[in-house]
């Protein structure tokens, strides 16, 4: 099997696109991952199909090649992420990173990302150092099942594999097109299988030249390459499904046609197999593994924005480290004459146990591995406080979650019945009231808004309530109340309703944590809010007018920046969205006079 130098160039195009996407400079660059999927399916199938034809295919050898190729670098990168997280991260973020380390090590970060960060394009994912290993999860899950096709159908039976692949590809593609859950079809193998399998079908079904006429084939070759470049570099197609399908089909087409031209056509060779493109393609796996880790920690620790200048500097660092791991890890583990199978298995097993066990242990601690005075957390206070699977007892959300205990009816007629409606942001609103100077006058009750249209006890509580507070990032509109009244056939007294407004503390607390020192003036230190925060706040204020309690006006400077800490240096929010106890106390103190007037009215 002749080495395809042009595939290195295609890998280079894919990895550079992904890098530019994660720098924030190329909206469609994430499609480079789809290119990688097709290449993987094409190359793996090319190898194992020939081995199966000759009755030489071995599942043991297959998995050993995959272990040598993939696992050592994954374990090294997760170990580096762990050390950097230990040094730079706040406990909640470090806890999340440790989850990702365990998931990446067991080839399941795609599943974790689906559960915790369903929107791949969300800005907050830019701060996750291992976010990108979701694609490795899909590839490794593919490799877990794929070789059994060739094990059961080898020798004279191997031709049957293509029919099975056609059927599985059709099922996967159909599922992809019919699935409405965007996150599910982005992260799960059943909706991505067709991309790898189409690459495999291309390798099996087009082993001979597709087009005999040289000029016609050459025209098709450049047309395919041009269309791939257009899709990657120009956001002209709005539908992600269409972009994925086109990228998949064009890539396999280029692999099939390019086989006839990579060593015959000088111009194509100059484009796809020049020394620079080939070298980038050779180290593309290291580039892929390093880039997001570097960019995420840079954003987390010291960069408000990755400018073009910083993009160049961080990319240069990525290249330097990638060259080091290509020669120091990839090449070393891949070559049998350099490292024996026994040594590879021992080294990877040891690294797996150490990194996975270490990350899981820190996860059970909630990431609290030292004292964090800015959050009021000390290692001694949580010494025996274990966290498992981030339930409501998780140390970082416990303060917010405890409000759920107030989700019941009123029973103290001597106090002002106060109902808070909302979700986790409603629980923030309840904590503000509970920390306020008027708390002793109130009987605060909470209602989880998600069940409003199914639980008629809400109507009873709203009628019993003297005051109703709404708390959410997007407080409920007046139209929602009209729908609720119609649903339960009752009238809501609008004079009882107040809205505790939206809030936003930027994209990440990490940069604030790493910037402050003994000289920081916490009364003036601010961070930039997300762009939509002010617009959302203004829209809600316009709708609710004097019934709106504007937290952004209270904490902001009117120019898009907002306070991060209390005057004593305590974080107002532990995750840039929800309040710490210090945050609720500080806001309550600032609102005391207004809350007193509301209670008296």
Residues 199, 41: contact at Cβ < 8 Å? yes
Burial of 427-452, coded b for 16+ CB within 10 Å and e otherwise, reads bbbbbbbbbbebeeebbbbbbbbeeb
Distance between CA atoms of 239 and 286, rounded to whole angstroms?
Answer: 30
Distance between CA atoms of 214 and 14, rounded to whole angstroms?
Answer: 27
Give bridge partners of residue 500 from the DSSP assignment: 471, 549
Residues of the chain with pLDDT > 70: what percent?
A: 98
497-500 and 548-549 beta bridge pairing: parallel
CA R_g for the chain: 28
The domain spanning residue 592 has which CATH number? 3.40.50
Return the half-sphere exposure (C-beta side, CA atoms, 13 A cut-off) of residue 168. Answer: 22
**Is residue 140 located within the same domain as residue 264?**
yes
Per residue in 369-403, pLDDT (tens digit) is: 999 999 999 888 777 777 766 566 688 888 999 99
**47: burial class by Cβ within 10 Å (0-12, 13-18, 19+)?**
middle
In this structure, what are the phi and psi dihedrals at residue 500, rounded to the nearest 5 degrees? -90, 115
SS3 482: helix
The total of structural domains in the chain comes to 2
**Is residue 318 located within the same domain as residue 439?**
no
DSSP label at 124?
Answer: G
Helical axes 240-258 vs 189-205, angle rounded to 10°: 20
Please check whether residue 433 lies inside any domain of the structure: yes
Of 169-173, 457-461, 572-576, which range is least confident?
457-461
Distance between CA atoms of 161 and 41, rounded to whole angstroms?
Answer: 14
Give the containing element (helix H, strand E) for 281: helix 275-282
Q: Where are the beta strands (DSSP E) in 103-230?
A: none
SS3 447: strand
What is the arithmetic mean of pLDDT over 73-79? Answer: 98
**Is residue 411 located within the same domain as residue 304?**
no
Please check whether residue 376 lies inside any domain of the structure: no
Give the containing element (helix H, strand E) for 592: helix 581-600
**Is residue 417 located within the same domain as residue 565?**
yes
What is the arithmetic mean of pLDDT over 231-243? Answer: 93
**Is residue 337 located within the same domain as residue 411?**
no
Distance between CA atoms of 19 and 10, rounded to whole angstroms?
Answer: 14
In this structure, what are the phi and psi dihedrals at residue 161, rounded to the nearest 5 degrees? -60, -40
Please check whether residue 223 lies inside any domain of the structure: yes
| Ramachandran sector of residue 350 (left: φ over 0; alpha: ψ -120 to 50; beta: rest) | alpha
pLDDT at position 37 is: 97
pLDDT at position 475 is: 62
The encoded tokens of residue 35 equal: 């290119």
The encoded tokens of residue 542 equal: 């316009």
**Is residue 118 located within the same domain as residue 27?**
yes
**Is residue 299 located within the same domain as residue 448?**
no
Please check whether residue 333 lies inside any domain of the structure: yes
Res. 550: pLDDT tops 90: yes
The encoded tokens of residue 121 equal: 């394009």
**Is residue 438 located within the same domain as residue 323?**
no
- Mean pLDDT, all residues of the chain: 92
**Is residue 304 located within the same domain as residue 420?**
no
**Is residue 357 located within the same domain as residue 402?**
no
**Is residue 48 located within the same domain as residue 164?**
yes
**Is residue 463 located within the same domain as residue 592?**
yes
Please check whether residue 371 lies inside any domain of the structure: no
pLDDT at position 1 is: 64
pTM: 0.93
Closest CA to 298 of 284, 286, 312: 312
Name the domain boundary from 361, 382, 408: 361
Per residue in 17-73, pLDDT (tens digit) is: 999 999 999 999 999 999 999 999 999 999 999 999 888 889 999 999 999 999 999
C-alpha distance across the termini of the chain, in Å: 84
Host domain of residue 526 = 398-600
The residues near 224 (Cβ < 8 Å, ≥ 6 apart) are 250, 253, 254, 257
Please check whether residue 73 lies inside any domain of the structure: yes
Of 74-78, 97-101, 132-136, 538-542, which range is least confident?
538-542
pLDDT at position 131 is: 96
Please check whether residue 374 lies inside any domain of the structure: no
Distance between CA atoms of 302 and 2, rounded to whole angstroms?
Answer: 47
């Amino acid at each position: 099997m002749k080495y395809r130098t042009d595939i290195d160039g295609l890998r280079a195009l894919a990895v550079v696109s992904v890098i530019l996407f994660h720098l924030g400079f190329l909206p469609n660059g994430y499609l480079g991952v789809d290119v990688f999927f097709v290449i993987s399916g094409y190359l793996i199938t090319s190898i194992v199909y020939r081995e199966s034809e000759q009755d030489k295919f071995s599942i043991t050898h297959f998995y050993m090649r995959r272990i040598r190729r993939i696992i050592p670098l994954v374990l090294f990168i997760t170990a580096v992420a762990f050390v950097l997280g230990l040094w730079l991260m706040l406990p909640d973020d470090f806890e999340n990173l440790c989850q990702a380390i365990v998931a990446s090590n067991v080839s399941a970060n795609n599943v974790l990302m689906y559960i915790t960060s369903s929107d791949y394009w969300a800005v907050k994912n830019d701060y996750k150092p291992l976010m990108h290993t979701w694609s490795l999860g899909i590839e490794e899950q593919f490799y877990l099942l794929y070789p059994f096709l060739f094990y059961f159908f080898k020798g004279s039976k191997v031709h049957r594999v293509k029919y099975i692949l056609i059927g599985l590809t059709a099922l996967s593609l159909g599922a992809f097109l019919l699935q409405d859950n965007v996150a599910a079809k982005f992260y799960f193998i059943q909706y991505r299988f067709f991309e790898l399998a189409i690459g495999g079908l291309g390798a099996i079904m087009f082993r001979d030249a597709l087009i005999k006429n040289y000029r016609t084939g050459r025209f098709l070759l450049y047309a395919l390459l041009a269309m791939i470049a257009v899709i990657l570099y120009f956001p002209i197609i709005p539908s992600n499904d269409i972009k994925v399908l086109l990228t998949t089909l064009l890539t396999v087409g280029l692999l099939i046609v390019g086989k006839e031209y990579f060593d015959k056509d000088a111009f194509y060779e100059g484009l796809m197999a020049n020394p620079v493109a080939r070298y980038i393609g050779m180290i593309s796996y290291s580039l892929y593994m390093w880039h997001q880790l570097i960019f995420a920690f840079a954003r987390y620790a010291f960069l408000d924005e990755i400018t073009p200048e910083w993009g160049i500097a961080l990319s240069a660092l990525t290249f330097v480290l990638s060259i080091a791991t290509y020669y120091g890890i990839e090449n070393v583990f891949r070559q049998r004459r350099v490292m024996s199978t026994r040594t590879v298995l021992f080294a990877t097993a040891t690294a797996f146990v150490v990194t996975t066990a270490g990350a899981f242990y820190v996860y059970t601690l909630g990431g609290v591995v030292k004292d964090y005075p800015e959050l009021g957390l000390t290692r001694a206070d949580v010494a025996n406080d274990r966290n498992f699977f981030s339930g409501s007892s998780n140390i970082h959300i416990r303060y917010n979650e405890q409000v759920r205990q107030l989700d019941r009816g009123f029973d103290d007629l001597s106090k002002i019945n106060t109902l808070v409606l909302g979700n986790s942001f409603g629980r923030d609103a309840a904590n503000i009231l509970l920390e306020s100077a008027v708390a002793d006058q109130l009987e605060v009750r909470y209602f989880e808004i998600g069940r409003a249209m199914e639980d008629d006890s809400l109507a009873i509580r709203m009628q019993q309530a003297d005051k109703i507070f709404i708390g959410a990032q997007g407080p409920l509109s007046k139209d929602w109340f009209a729908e609720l009244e119609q649903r339960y056939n009752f009238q809501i007294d609008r004079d009882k309703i107040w809205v505790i407004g939206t809030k936003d503390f930027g994209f990440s607390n990490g940069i604030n944590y790493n910037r402050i020192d003994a000289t920081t003036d916490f009364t003036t230190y601010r961070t930039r809010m997300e762009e939509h925060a002010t617009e959302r706040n203004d829209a809600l204020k316009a709708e609710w007018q004097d019934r709106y309690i504007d937290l952004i006006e209270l904490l902001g400077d009117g120019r898009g920046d907002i306070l991060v800490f209390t005057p004593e240096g305590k974080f107002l929010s532990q995750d840039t969205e929800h309040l710490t106890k210090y945050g609720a106390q500080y806001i309550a103190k600032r609102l005391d006079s207004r809350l007193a007037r509301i209670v008296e009215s």
